[in-house]
Each structure stands twice: as structure tokens, then as C-alpha cells.
Amino acid sequence: MRQVVLDTETTGLEPSEGHRIIEIGCVELIERRLTGNTYHQYLNPERAIDDGAIEVHGITNEFLADKPKFNQIAKGFLEFIQGAELVIHNAAFDIGFIDNELSMCDKQYRTAYGPTANYSTVLDTLLLARKKHPGQRNSLDALCRRYDINNAHRELHGALLDSEILADVYLMMTGGQTSLILGDEGEEGGVSGASIIRLNTERPVLPIIQASNEEISSHIARMDVIAKKCDGPLVWSAAFPPTDTD
């Protein structure tokens, strides 16, 4: 199964008020494993960013002045998400903005992209978190604390960084350990920060200490007592069958 964990940053809160997307970040999961394949794009929104939004993500109008417009990257973005399940925290917000951008492309540039639903299904991790943790805070930061995911490096919101953090949260929220690492060190996927520890082939051979005859006899005697109290044979007594003490 292919999933794309997605996040956006915007000029403000409402596309109905003319606000636009300024950053898209995506990370790819295949069979619940991070592949290292990402999509990241800054966008020129052709309008000013609200001051409150800049305080959240730190992206300025000057920085975006030479970036491409959405219609210039739409085809490549849709190709990246095509056929995937989109994993988004508060999906209504991001999908609302993406569908608005696609609609503007259709109207202004006579394309026929249609809405996001034409390309991908959507899983909303906010709705999932509310179902799993009713009555609790379920922001991305709150979920990081709940699942012990380190997001200390996130001073500001950023679409690619948030999608990477959300991928960790989603995998923990839906199954804890994501995979066993059985390949070579450096292999993509697996538990973040884990590595294979290989033993030195020249290490001393570990000694094998056998039980003495006295210890074996004591063990058999103990099993005899347990078997009589259980009124039946013991499943682990095949190696040392009980003795007949009658």
C-alpha cells in the first residue's frame, strides 16, 4: 500500500478569503515503511501573507517572490500523489486549499484537473486521534508528547518537516513498532534511530555450564511434586519424565 503523508503552509486560514498555498511537503510510505522519496515545493501565492501566518511558519513574502506559481507545479504534484492514500492532520484544511488551487487552475488556465478526490483517498489523522483519545488534546505537538516523538528541532512550522513528524506519529498511533530491521545498516525504513549491533567474530567462546546430576535429580523431584498437585502430566516434563516414587 502506498501512502503519502502531506502538509501545507498557507497565507492565511480561509481560501474563501483569497488565501493561497505557499508550501507543500510530502513523504512517501510503502507498506508502512518510509522510502525516502519526498515532494517539497515553495510557491508564489501572488498575494501578501498574513502577519499571523508568518509568525507560525516564518515564510516571508520576499522569500517567495521568485518561486513558481501553483499552476506551474500542479501536474508534477498530482503525479506524486496519484493513486496514494493521503495521510493528513486536519485534512479538511489542506484538502480545501489544494482543491481551491486546482479549481483556479481549471478556470484560469483551462486545465481539467478536478479535485483531489480524482487522484487520492484521504486519511485524517486528527479524526483518528480524536477517536483513539477522546477528550484529549490531539494537535501534532500533543501527539508527539503522547507517543514520545522528539520534535524539539521544530521551532517553526514547515510543510516538509511537519509531514515527516506526522509520518512518525501516524505509524506509532496505528501500530507502534513499524518494522523489524533485518537488512544492512543504513537501509531505508524501520524504527527511527535504530541500528544493527554486530558481535565481534573474534570474541571469546561463551562457556556452556551443564547441570550437575544432583541438580537434575532435584529438578525431577520438584516436577514430581508439581505433577501430583496438578493431578496430571506436566507439558514441560518430556526431557525429565517424572520418576515412580511409589
Angstrom distance (rounded) from CA 82 to CA 2: 10
Backbone angles phi, psi at 16, to 5 degrees: -65, -20
88, 169, 60, 155 alpha-carbon torsion, rounded to 10°: 160
Angstrom distance (rounded) from CA 101 to CA 95: 10
- Single out the residue of 165, 191, 196 nearest to residue 178, CA to CA: 191
Alpha carbon 107 to its chain centroid, in Å, reads 36
Q: Which amino acid is at 192?
A: S
CB atoms within 10 A of CB 159: 25
To the query of whether residue 157 is one of the catalytic residues in this protein, the response is: yes
SS3 218: helix
Angstrom distance (rounded) from CA 34 to CA 40: 16
SS3 138: coil
Among 57, 133, 157, 219, the one annotated catalytic:
157
Angstrom distance (rounded) from CA 11 to CA 152: 25
By residue count, the chain amounts to: 246
C-alpha separations of 15 from 20, 149, 238 in Å: 6, 32, 73
Beta pairing class for 2-10 and 85-88: parallel
Catalytic residues: 157
